[in-house]
Amino acid sequence: MQLDPDDGCKDGVCSVPWLIEKKEDLINSPAHYASTSIECIDAIKAQLSEEEFKGYLKGNIVKYIWREKQKGQKESLKKAKWYLDRLLES
């Protein structure tokens, strides 16, 4: 069994599970977008036509790629990919 270096274990010694701090997934489920029973993107989708929603997704892809060097670097590219994946699913 291999240890995941991000699971709180160091040199084969692991903390008890409830003491390991969980990292927030800022790409797929940031807490500030999922703090209610419906995610913001689902509410936006419900208000737009299919074509409008595709435009919204495309705009976000461009936004995250555009500011990648100035703001979030790799995280921005991952966010752009997240929106691109949603666009491919639609």
How many other CB atoms sit within 10 Å of the CB of residue 79?
21
Q: What is the model's pLDDT at position 2?
A: 47
Q: What is the pLDDT of residues 1-53, one digit of tens each?
A: 444 555 555 666 655 555 555 667 777 766 766 567 788 899 999 999 999 99
Rg (CA), the chain: 17
Q: What is the model's pLDDT at position 72?
A: 74
Q: What is the model's pLDDT at position 34?
A: 58
Q: What is the largest CA-CA distance in the chain?
A: 53
Closest CA to 20 of 5, 7, 3, 4: 7
- Residue type for 88, please? L
Q: Which residues contact 84 (CB under 8 A, 6 or more apart)?
A: 57, 61
